[in-house]
Amino acid sequence: MKIAVISDIHANKDALEEVLKDIKIFNPDMIFCLGDLILAGYNPNFVCEKIFELKNLFGDNFKIIQGNTDKMVANCNLQLIEDTKKAFPCMGYSLEEDVKITDKKYIDFVRNLPEKKRVIVNNLKIDLVHGSPRNQSENIYPDLLPETVEEMVKDSDADLILCGHTHIPCGYSLNSNKTIINAGSVGRSMTSDKNALYLQLTIDKEGKFFSEHRIIKYNNELVSKHILARGFKHCEDLASMYIA
Ligand SMILES: [Fe+2]
Question: Following DSSP, what letter does each residue of 148-171 receive, concatenated?
Answer: HHHHHTTT---SEEEE-SSSS-EE
Report CA(165)–ligand 1 centroid distance (Å). Answer: 5
Q: Which residues surround ligand 1, an ion (CB under 5 A)?
A: 8, 36
- Cα 205 to ligand 1 centre (Å): 33
**Structure confidence at residue 163 (pLDDT):** 98
pTM over the 0.95 mark: yes
Question: 11's torsion region: left (phi>0), alpha (psi -120 to 50) or beta?
Answer: left
Q: How far is the CA of 4 from the centre of ligand 1 (A)?
A: 18
Distances, alpha carbon 128 to alpha carbons 43, 63, 70, 115, 197, in Å? 25, 9, 16, 9, 17
Phi, psi of 238 (to 5 degrees): -65, -45
Residue 105 CA to ligand 1 center (angstroms) comes to 21
CA 77/CA 71 separation, integer angstroms: 11
Q: Calculate the alpha carbon distances from 10 to 85, 94, 148, 152, 165 in Å.
A: 18, 11, 28, 25, 11
C-alpha 206 – ligand 1 centre gap (Å): 33
Give the domain extent around 50: 2-240
Strands (E), the chain: 2-6, 30-33, 62-64, 116-121, 124-129, 160-163, 170-173, 179-182, 196-203, 209-216
Look at residues 193, 196, 122, 132 and name the one whose alpha carbon lies nearest to residue 164: 132
What are the angstrom distances between the C-alpha of 9 and each of 14, 47, 184? 10, 8, 10
pLDDT tens, position by position, 166-202: 999 999 999 999 999 999 999 999 999 999 999 999 9
- pLDDT value for 89: 97
Ligand 1 mean position to 73 CA, how many Å? 12
Q: Give the pLDDT of residue 237.
A: 97
Average pLDDT of the segment spanning 61-89: 98
Whole-number Å distance between alpha carbons of 28 and 200: 8
**Cα–ligand 1 centroid distance for 2 (angstroms):** 24
- Distance (angstroms) between ligand 1 centre and the Cα of 166 equals 7
Q: What is the distance in A from the centroid of ligand 1 to the CA of 69?
A: 7
Q: In what order do the strands lie in the sheet with 62-64?
A: 62-64, 30-33, 2-6, 196-203, 209-216
Going from the Cα of 25 to the center of ligand 1, the distance in angstroms, rounded, reads 25
Residue 71's pLDDT is 98
- Going from the Cα of 204 to the center of ligand 1, the distance in angstroms, rounded, reads 30
The CATH number of residue 227's host domain is 3.60.21.10
Structure confidence by residue, pLDDT tens digits, 131-169:
999 999 999 999 999 999 999 999 999 999 999 999 999
Task: Please state the domain count of the chain.
Answer: 1
First to last CA, the chain: 35
Q: Mean of the per-residue pLDDT values for the chain?
A: 98
Tell me the mean pLDDT in the region 51-64: 98
CA distances from 139 to 53, 55, 133, 220, 239 (A): 30, 27, 11, 24, 23
Tell me how far the alpha carbon of residue 72 lies from the centroid of ligand 1, in angstroms.
11
